[in-house]
Chains A and B, each alone.
Chain A
Amino acid sequence: MNGLPLNLRLRRAMLIALLLGLWAPVKIVWEQQIAREQDNLRYHGLVMNRQMRDELGQGLTIGILSGMRSVVADFIWLEVTTAWENQEWFRMGGLVNLCTSLQPRAPVFWDMGGWQLAWNASVGAERDVTQPNELRRLKAARFWIDKGLDVYKRGIENNPEYWRLWSDTGLLYQQRLKDYKNAAYYYQRASELPNAPVYLERFPAIMYGLAGDDQGAYEAWRALWEKLTPAQREMKEHWKEKIESNIRRLEQKLSVPKEKRVFPN
């Protein structure tokens, strides 16, 4: 029990009030400054809404509130893998959305989520023997491809600097949708980003070739050749021989006048 005399109690209260009173304004201003700084860097991507809270349940919500967001998202992600193994595509789609909303700045969720939907779910739908006919199967497959594409594109909106989302979108256009023009565009964007692997630079030209657009392909190869410095051309990963042979082939095929050719002889 406290037998402290009243005057000392008052003095103590005043000292505490003084300390906190001096600190509080500094604290608020400082915290606002930190928040602005983090906003500028596009952090704090998460806004919890009621729907999300319902989906998470109480335990996981507390986990998130106490700063364990990424661990919570990872646990939900494990469920995505389980749903995939059980071929529960709609559940998987919902879980992918939950993960990406929890951590919109974690590219791996967009990347893997898009892949799960556009490839695994759509291939699953194609092979779904419970569907009455082929047309329905193809429609269902297309539905999942579009879902996956949507995930990729929203992922790109949130993480435009992450090359892999661009190149995976390109891959989807190329291999599942046979839309080589779009594939070329996305590969092109991917190849221009930091950390992108070198081989991507050749993909747009190859896509034009696959689309049967010789003119486009020629321009793309040529642009690539001209972009490379002489020193770069000698590096193995830029595969000079491949670029050169394609340009020569297309210059021949398109009968480009000699004075305009890269390789006149």
Chain B
Amino acid sequence: MISSLHRILIIARNTLTEAVRQKVLNVLLIFGLVLICSSVTVSQLATPDIDAAGLFSEQIKFVKDFGCGAIGLFGFFIALLSTALLIPQELDKRTIYTILAKPVRRAEFLLGKFVGVVLLLALSVALMSLAFAATLYWQESVGLAAVEANYAQMDLKHTPTAQSMHDHDAAQIIKQVRDPQLVEAVLLIFAKIVMTAAIGLLISTFATSWIFTIITTFMIYLIGHGESLARTFWLSHGAETTIWQSGLIGLIALLIPDMNSFTIVDEILAGNRVPWHDVLNLLCYANVYVIVLLAVSVVIFDYREI
């Protein structure tokens, strides 16, 4: 048991080392970081007028949306490429022979690979989140400076109304920027890309080319965003359609993960309060789903001829 875990970790570390030394993934990560930081320039394109502009809520919304969008997008690409490239590479280049000829179980090899990819994703998401936080902080200081400038120009600046307006404006900017719910958002995004990686791993255990893995995983990801529609339709109208239709829709509902429920990240970004309870429920769902996907992958891989 312990030695089994030990072997998984050795393979995971090796996978992480390989990924970190691989150019494609590094370039992707750097693109993500640049995009996040450049969101401030994009946000400047929005209405610049402070009086009416709802206190930079537009700009702050931009930076948040872009930041989370970029973390999700580049995390997704990194997840897709690292699972689609790293494992078929082992088969292609036959490094897998040397590993599986050692006293290593196939399940250990596969789990090690997956843990390595998850570590890579955690690292990437952590780096991008750091860039995101820095960008938000910068946007906050711009906003606060503007509030000060606005206050300095105000007539009647010493009335309690002006004073409390100023304090309230500053507080609003800080409140929007330092939103603790962003932690929820980043966790949900991470869970979603880990799920993507698990889907990619499952596909690559039987795929013969990495292009097939990438395309199929991407399709499943897209269909996953419509799974909730398929599910509601199947549960309510299943009987009214032809066997083929309800079979296809049922298959989607039964097998494809629900990616759409992760769009509550949108609500978090829009400033709505999303209780931790719901977030944890979703994280659990993702977790269990990943375990099921891994179990299926192990079964397929155990019987694969290499």
Contacts and interface: CB of A to CB of B under 8 A. Distances in A.
Is A in direct contact with B (CB under 8 Å) within the complex? yes
Interface of A: 2-4, 8-9, 11-12, 15-16, 19-20, 23-24, 27-28, 30-35, 37-38, 41, 43-44, 62, 65-71, 73-74, 77-78, 81, 84, 103, 105-108, 111-112, 115, 119, 164, 195, 197-199, 202, 236-239, 242
B254 A28 contact: yes
Contacts of B265: 67
Interface in B242-291: 253-255, 257-267, 269-272, 274-275, 278, 281-282, 285, 289
B278 A81 contact: no
Given A197-B164, A239-B161, A41 B285 contact: no
A65 B231 contact: no
Contacts of A107: 57, 270-271
A221 to B, nearest CB: 15
18 contacts: A2-B305, A12-B300, A12-B302, A16-B296, A19-B292, A31-B258, A34-B278, A37-B278, A43-B272, A74-B66, A77-B58, A78-B42, A78-B46, A112-B52, A199-B164, A237-B160, A237-B164, A239-B159
A111 B42 CA distance: 20
A43 B266 CA distance: 9
Given A20-B254, A197-B168, 14 more contacts: A3-B305, A27-B289, A43-B263, A66-B222, A66-B225, A70-B69, A74-B66, A81-B46, A106-B269, A107-B271, A164-B54, A238-B160, A239-B160, A242-B160
A197 B175 CA distance: 13
Contacts of B226: 65
B226 to A, nearest CB: 7
A28 B231 contact: yes
A238 B163 CA distance: 11
A70 B302 CA distance: 42
A103 B305 CA distance: 50
A197 B270 contact: no
A259 to B, nearest CB: 31
B168 to A, nearest CB: 4
Contacts of A195: 172, 175
A198 B260 CA distance: 39
A4 B300 CA distance: 12
A73 B46 CA distance: 13
Contact of B72 (A31, A68, A242): A68
Contacts of A236: 160, 163-164
A27 B254 contact: yes
A41 B276 CA distance: 13
Contacts of B235: 28, 32
A77 B270 contact: no
Interface centre among A11, A33, A81 (most CB of B within 10 A): A81
A35 B261 contact: yes
Given A16-B299, A106-B61, A108-B61, A237 B272 contact: no
Interface of B: 42, 45-47, 52-54, 57-58, 61-62, 65-66, 68-69, 72-73, 159-161, 163-165, 167-168, 172, 175, 192, 221-222, 225-228, 231-232, 235, 253-255, 257-267, 269-272, 274-275, 278, 281-282, 285, 289, 292, 295-296, 299-300, 302-303, 305
A159 to B, nearest CB: 9
A81 B45 contact: yes
Nearest to A203: B161
Contact of A66 (B165, B221, B261, B305): B221
Contact of A74 (B65, B73, B271, B281): B65
A199 B165 contact: yes
Contact of B225 (A12, A33, A65, A78): A65
Contacts of B272: 41, 43, 105
Interface centre among B253, B261, B275 (most CB of A within 10 A): B261
Contact of A77 (B46, B69, B257, B278): B46
A237 B61 CA distance: 29
B274 A41 contact: yes
Contact of B45 (A27, A78, A115): A78
A103 B270 contact: yes
A20 B202 CA distance: 13
Contact of B73 (A4, A68, A78, A237): A68
A81 B269 CA distance: 21
Contacts of A112: 47, 52-54, 58
A119 B52 contact: yes
B270 A105 contact: yes
A32 B160 CA distance: 51
A36 B302 CA distance: 38
A79 to B, nearest CB: 10
Nearest to A3: B305
A38 B54 contact: no
B266 A103 contact: yes
A172 B272 CA distance: 25
Interface centre among B42, B66, B164, B278 (most CB of A within 10 A): B164
Nearest to A33: B281
A128 to B, nearest CB: 21
Nearest to B192: A67
